[in-house]
Amino acid sequence: MSKCEQCIVREFSSLKALNKDELVKLAECKTSRLVKKGEIIFEEGENVNGIFCVKDGVCKLTKLSPNGKDHIVKLVTKGELLGQRSMISDEPVNLSAVALDDMQVCFIPKSEIMGFFDKNNQFSMNVMRTICGDLKESDDHVVNMAQKTVKERLAETLLYLQDTFGKNEDDSLKIHLTRDELASMIGTATESCIRLLSDFNKLGLIELKGKKITLKNIPQLKKMI
Protein backbone atom coordinates (compact mmCIF):
# COMPACT_ATOMS: atom_id res chain seq x y z
CA MET A 1 0.00 0.00 0.00
CA SER A 2 1.43 3.39 -1.03
CA LYS A 3 1.71 6.01 1.67
CA CYS A 4 -0.49 9.08 1.20
CA GLU A 5 2.11 11.35 2.81
CA GLN A 6 4.61 10.34 0.10
CA CYS A 7 2.13 10.60 -2.80
CA ILE A 8 2.87 13.64 -4.95
CA VAL A 9 -0.63 13.88 -6.50
CA ARG A 10 -2.18 14.95 -3.19
CA GLU A 11 -0.45 18.31 -3.71
CA PHE A 12 -2.84 19.03 -6.60
CA SER A 13 -6.08 18.66 -4.63
CA SER A 14 -7.84 19.57 -1.39
CA LEU A 15 -5.84 16.80 0.31
CA LYS A 16 -2.74 19.04 0.40
CA ALA A 17 -4.19 20.69 3.54
CA LEU A 18 -4.05 17.45 5.56
CA ASN A 19 -1.24 17.07 8.11
CA LYS A 20 1.01 14.03 8.41
CA ASP A 21 -1.13 12.25 11.03
CA GLU A 22 -4.23 12.75 8.91
CA LEU A 23 -2.43 11.43 5.82
CA VAL A 24 -1.29 8.33 7.74
CA LYS A 25 -4.93 7.78 8.77
CA LEU A 26 -5.96 8.25 5.14
CA ALA A 27 -3.49 5.62 3.94
CA GLU A 28 -4.91 3.11 6.45
CA CYS A 29 -8.52 3.48 5.27
CA LYS A 30 -8.15 4.00 1.51
CA THR A 31 -8.35 1.28 -1.11
CA SER A 32 -6.39 1.50 -4.37
CA ARG A 33 -7.45 0.00 -7.67
CA LEU A 34 -6.48 -0.10 -11.34
CA VAL A 35 -9.20 0.97 -13.75
CA LYS A 36 -8.96 -0.25 -17.35
CA LYS A 37 -9.68 2.01 -20.33
CA GLY A 38 -13.46 2.15 -20.90
CA GLU A 39 -14.26 0.90 -17.39
CA ILE A 40 -16.88 2.75 -15.34
CA ILE A 41 -15.69 4.18 -12.01
CA PHE A 42 -19.21 5.16 -10.97
CA GLU A 43 -22.53 5.75 -12.69
CA GLU A 44 -24.99 8.65 -12.52
CA GLY A 45 -27.50 8.05 -9.70
CA GLU A 46 -25.13 5.80 -7.71
CA ASN A 47 -24.45 6.33 -3.99
CA VAL A 48 -20.66 6.51 -3.93
CA ASN A 49 -20.19 7.17 -0.17
CA GLY A 50 -16.70 8.58 -0.51
CA ILE A 51 -14.31 10.23 -2.91
CA PHE A 52 -11.87 8.97 -5.52
CA CYS A 53 -8.39 10.44 -5.82
CA VAL A 54 -7.01 10.08 -9.35
CA LYS A 55 -3.40 8.93 -9.02
CA ASP A 56 -2.81 8.43 -12.76
CA GLY A 57 -4.76 8.51 -16.02
CA VAL A 58 -7.73 10.48 -17.37
CA CYS A 59 -11.47 9.95 -17.09
CA LYS A 60 -14.49 11.66 -18.58
CA LEU A 61 -17.44 12.87 -16.52
CA THR A 62 -20.64 12.42 -18.49
CA LYS A 63 -24.31 13.33 -18.11
CA LEU A 64 -27.08 11.35 -19.79
CA SER A 65 -29.30 13.67 -21.84
CA PRO A 66 -33.05 13.09 -22.34
CA ASN A 67 -32.40 11.65 -25.83
CA GLY A 68 -30.21 8.94 -24.30
CA LYS A 69 -26.83 10.36 -25.42
CA ASP A 70 -23.92 10.87 -23.06
CA HIS A 71 -22.69 14.46 -22.90
CA ILE A 72 -19.11 15.01 -21.69
CA VAL A 73 -19.18 17.62 -18.93
CA LYS A 74 -15.52 17.53 -17.94
CA LEU A 75 -12.25 15.63 -18.28
CA VAL A 76 -10.48 14.76 -15.03
CA THR A 77 -6.79 13.95 -14.72
CA LYS A 78 -4.30 12.92 -12.02
CA GLY A 79 -4.35 14.85 -8.77
CA GLU A 80 -8.06 15.62 -8.98
CA LEU A 81 -10.81 14.26 -6.74
CA LEU A 82 -14.09 12.73 -7.85
CA GLY A 83 -17.30 12.80 -5.84
CA GLN A 84 -16.68 15.81 -3.58
CA ARG A 85 -19.96 17.55 -4.37
CA SER A 86 -22.20 14.51 -3.82
CA MET A 87 -20.35 13.77 -0.58
CA ILE A 88 -21.11 17.28 0.75
CA SER A 89 -24.70 17.38 -0.53
CA ASP A 90 -25.30 13.81 0.69
CA GLU A 91 -26.88 12.87 -2.63
CA PRO A 92 -26.19 10.27 -5.33
CA VAL A 93 -23.64 11.36 -7.95
CA ASN A 94 -25.25 13.25 -10.84
CA LEU A 95 -22.52 12.33 -13.35
CA SER A 96 -20.87 9.12 -14.55
CA ALA A 97 -17.08 8.69 -14.56
CA VAL A 98 -15.51 6.52 -17.27
CA ALA A 99 -11.79 5.87 -17.80
CA LEU A 100 -10.38 7.27 -21.08
CA ASP A 101 -7.14 5.35 -20.55
CA ASP A 102 -5.77 2.97 -17.91
CA MET A 103 -6.02 4.65 -14.52
CA GLN A 104 -4.93 4.30 -10.90
CA VAL A 105 -7.45 5.59 -8.37
CA CYS A 106 -7.70 5.53 -4.58
CA PHE A 107 -11.08 5.40 -2.85
CA ILE A 108 -11.46 7.17 0.51
CA PRO A 109 -14.63 6.42 2.53
CA LYS A 110 -16.95 9.31 3.35
CA SER A 111 -16.81 8.55 7.11
CA GLU A 112 -13.08 9.29 7.16
CA ILE A 113 -13.20 12.39 4.94
CA MET A 114 -16.03 14.00 6.94
CA GLY A 115 -13.90 13.58 10.08
CA PHE A 116 -11.24 15.82 8.50
CA PHE A 117 -13.95 18.43 7.83
CA ASP A 118 -14.61 18.82 11.54
CA LYS A 119 -10.94 19.14 12.50
CA ASN A 120 -9.19 20.83 9.56
CA ASN A 121 -10.58 24.20 8.44
CA GLN A 122 -8.11 24.59 5.57
CA PHE A 123 -9.17 21.24 4.12
CA SER A 124 -12.85 22.28 4.32
CA MET A 125 -12.05 25.57 2.55
CA ASN A 126 -10.09 23.76 -0.17
CA VAL A 127 -13.02 21.45 -0.90
CA MET A 128 -15.44 24.39 -1.05
CA ARG A 129 -13.12 26.33 -3.39
CA THR A 130 -12.92 23.32 -5.70
CA ILE A 131 -16.71 22.97 -5.81
CA CYS A 132 -17.06 26.73 -6.46
CA GLY A 133 -14.48 26.43 -9.25
CA ASP A 134 -16.50 23.61 -10.82
CA LEU A 135 -19.63 25.77 -10.67
CA LYS A 136 -17.82 28.67 -12.36
CA GLU A 137 -16.60 26.32 -15.10
CA SER A 138 -20.14 25.07 -15.55
CA ASP A 139 -21.47 28.65 -15.88
CA ASP A 140 -18.76 29.50 -18.44
CA HIS A 141 -19.58 26.32 -20.38
CA VAL A 142 -23.30 27.24 -20.57
CA VAL A 143 -22.42 30.71 -21.93
CA ASN A 144 -19.96 29.18 -24.43
CA MET A 145 -22.56 26.76 -25.73
CA ALA A 146 -25.09 29.58 -26.15
CA GLN A 147 -22.88 32.28 -27.65
CA LYS A 148 -20.09 30.56 -29.60
CA THR A 149 -20.45 28.79 -32.92
CA VAL A 150 -19.61 25.08 -33.20
CA LYS A 151 -16.49 26.06 -35.17
CA GLU A 152 -15.32 28.33 -32.34
CA ARG A 153 -16.07 25.66 -29.74
CA LEU A 154 -14.06 23.07 -31.67
CA ALA A 155 -11.04 25.41 -31.94
CA GLU A 156 -11.28 26.18 -28.21
CA THR A 157 -11.59 22.49 -27.27
CA LEU A 158 -8.61 21.42 -29.40
CA LEU A 159 -6.45 24.11 -27.76
CA TYR A 160 -7.71 23.06 -24.31
CA LEU A 161 -6.82 19.41 -25.00
CA GLN A 162 -3.27 20.33 -26.00
CA ASP A 163 -2.74 22.84 -23.15
CA THR A 164 -4.11 20.47 -20.51
CA PHE A 165 -2.89 17.05 -21.62
CA GLY A 166 0.09 17.85 -23.86
CA LYS A 167 1.46 16.32 -27.05
CA ASN A 168 3.01 13.03 -28.15
CA GLU A 169 6.55 12.93 -29.60
CA ASP A 170 5.05 13.29 -33.10
CA ASP A 171 3.24 16.49 -31.91
CA SER A 172 -0.22 14.89 -32.07
CA LEU A 173 -2.63 15.41 -29.16
CA LYS A 174 -1.66 13.12 -26.28
CA ILE A 175 -5.22 12.50 -25.16
CA HIS A 176 -7.13 10.31 -27.58
CA LEU A 177 -10.83 11.08 -27.93
CA THR A 178 -13.12 9.39 -30.42
CA ARG A 179 -14.94 11.65 -32.89
CA ASP A 180 -18.09 10.86 -30.91
CA GLU A 181 -16.48 12.05 -27.64
CA LEU A 182 -15.11 15.21 -29.28
CA ALA A 183 -18.58 15.97 -30.71
CA SER A 184 -20.05 15.45 -27.25
CA MET A 185 -17.61 17.95 -25.75
CA ILE A 186 -18.47 20.69 -28.24
CA GLY A 187 -22.21 19.96 -28.25
CA THR A 188 -22.82 18.88 -31.83
CA ALA A 189 -23.62 15.79 -33.90
CA THR A 190 -20.73 13.44 -34.67
CA GLU A 191 -21.20 14.00 -38.45
CA SER A 192 -20.87 17.79 -37.96
CA CYS A 193 -17.71 17.32 -35.88
CA ILE A 194 -16.13 15.07 -38.54
CA ARG A 195 -17.01 17.61 -41.25
CA LEU A 196 -15.52 20.50 -39.23
CA LEU A 197 -12.32 18.56 -38.53
CA SER A 198 -12.02 17.94 -42.27
CA ASP A 199 -12.51 21.69 -42.93
CA PHE A 200 -9.83 22.56 -40.34
CA ASN A 201 -7.52 20.03 -41.99
CA LYS A 202 -8.03 21.57 -45.46
CA LEU A 203 -7.36 25.05 -44.04
CA GLY A 204 -4.06 23.84 -42.54
CA LEU A 205 -5.20 24.51 -38.96
CA ILE A 206 -4.79 20.87 -37.99
CA GLU A 207 -3.46 17.66 -39.51
CA LEU A 208 -5.43 14.42 -39.40
CA LYS A 209 -3.60 11.10 -39.54
CA GLY A 210 -6.01 8.26 -38.90
CA LYS A 211 -7.41 8.96 -35.44
CA LYS A 212 -4.57 11.33 -34.52
CA ILE A 213 -5.02 15.11 -34.48
CA THR A 214 -2.07 17.53 -34.67
CA LEU A 215 -2.51 21.27 -34.19
CA LYS A 216 -0.59 23.02 -37.01
CA ASN A 217 -1.63 26.67 -36.74
CA ILE A 218 -2.18 27.59 -33.09
CA PRO A 219 -2.23 31.42 -33.63
CA GLN A 220 -5.06 31.04 -36.16
CA LEU A 221 -6.99 28.66 -33.88
CA LYS A 222 -6.67 31.20 -31.06
CA LYS A 223 -7.83 33.96 -33.40
CA MET A 224 -10.98 31.96 -34.16
CA ILE A 225 -12.06 32.10 -30.51
pTM given for the model = 0.86
Tell me what pLDDT residue 44 has.
Answer: 94
Q: C-alpha 71: how far from its chain's center? A: 13
Q: Domain 148-224 classified CATH 1.10.10.10?
A: yes
Provide the pLDDT confidence category of residue 2 given band limits of 50, 70 and 90. low
Every domain of the chain and the residues it spans: 4-145, 148-224
Most distant CA pair in the chain: distance in Å? 58
**38-73, pLDDT tens digit by residue?**
999 999 999 999 999 999 999 999 998 887 788 899
**10-24, pLDDT tens digit by residue?**
888 888 989 889 888
**For residues 132 and 222, what is the distance between their CA atoms, to the nearest angstrom?**
27
The SS3 of residue 181 is: helix
**The CATH number of the domain covering residues in 4-145:** 2.60.120.10
**126-166, pLDDT tens digit by residue?**
988 988 988 888 888 888 778 899 999 999 999 999 999 99
**Same topology between domain 4-145 and domain 148-224:** no
